[in-house]
Amino acid sequence: MSGFVAAITNYLQNLQRVLAELDVGEIDTISGIFKKAYDEERTIFVIGNGGSASTASHLACDLNKGACLHAQKKFHVMPLTDNLPTILAIANDIGYDAIFVEQLKNFARPDDVVVGISGSGNSANVLKAIEYARQQGCTTIGVCGYDGGKLKQLVDCCFHVKVPDMQIVEDVHMILAHILMRVLAVESTTAGC
């Protein structure tokens, strides 16, 4: 053994405790919003920085492909984290705080859904995009950790992992993505959800 057993056990125990304390109602609310977006053929935009950007991309993949692989009707999920040339152009010419809001100006329409993922809940570019989305009549969802930050107060609904540990917060955010894929999976190849 390498001598890391105590640290590994501690991490897993903390993760299990946080999972046991999650608000299932928050997940149910988000599932309902996503189902409505699917039914109405709205776009779900997903944004985040760093590990949260990876979660945004993963969620989009899970819903666009995993949740409706054999269905004729598909989800429309766009991670605004994935177009690197656009992100860099906006960051260079306008500022990093604008990388998501400027993309929303191109694509977002009233009744679309914008999901902001931020471990701290205080990522400036996420907050700016959520503010814009609200002004445009989009439904806004926050996915955060720690004390929820400004994001928790700004969105229509929030999935809040109440722990000051970025790695556990990010682990649970990925679990949320997988739960959403599983509960929203389209069963029929022709009838949709």
Computed from CA positions of residues 192, 60, 69, 85, in that sequence, does the dihedral angle turn out positive or negative? positive
What is residue 137's predicted lDDT score, i.e. its pLDDT? 98
What is residue 52's predicted lDDT score, i.e. its pLDDT? 98
What is residue 2's predicted lDDT score, i.e. its pLDDT? 79
Computed from CA positions of residues 108, 62, 149, 170, in that sequence, does the dihedral angle turn out positive or negative? negative
What is residue 191's predicted lDDT score, i.e. its pLDDT? 42
The position carrying tokens 């944004």 is 47
pTM of the full structure: 0.94
**Torsion over CA of 130, 132, 135 and 138, rounded to 10 degrees?**
-50
Residues of the chain where predicted confidence (pLDDT) is lower than 50: 188-193
The position carrying tokens 């709205």 is 42
What is residue 186's predicted lDDT score, i.e. its pLDDT? 80
Contacts of 92 (CB under 8 A, 6+ apart): none
What is residue 189's predicted lDDT score, i.e. its pLDDT? 44
What is residue 187's predicted lDDT score, i.e. its pLDDT? 62
What is residue 78's predicted lDDT score, i.e. its pLDDT? 98
By C-alpha distance, which of 37, 33, 3 is closest to 156?
33
Return the biggest CA–CA distance within the chain: 56
Beta-bridge partner residues of 141 = 115, 157
C-alpha distances out from residue 110 to 42, 43, 64, 135, 152, Å:
9, 10, 21, 9, 21
By C-alpha distance, which of 12, 27, 18 is closest to 177?
27
Query: Which domains does the chain possess?
Result: 5-183 (3.40.50.10490)
The position carrying tokens 């105590």 is 6
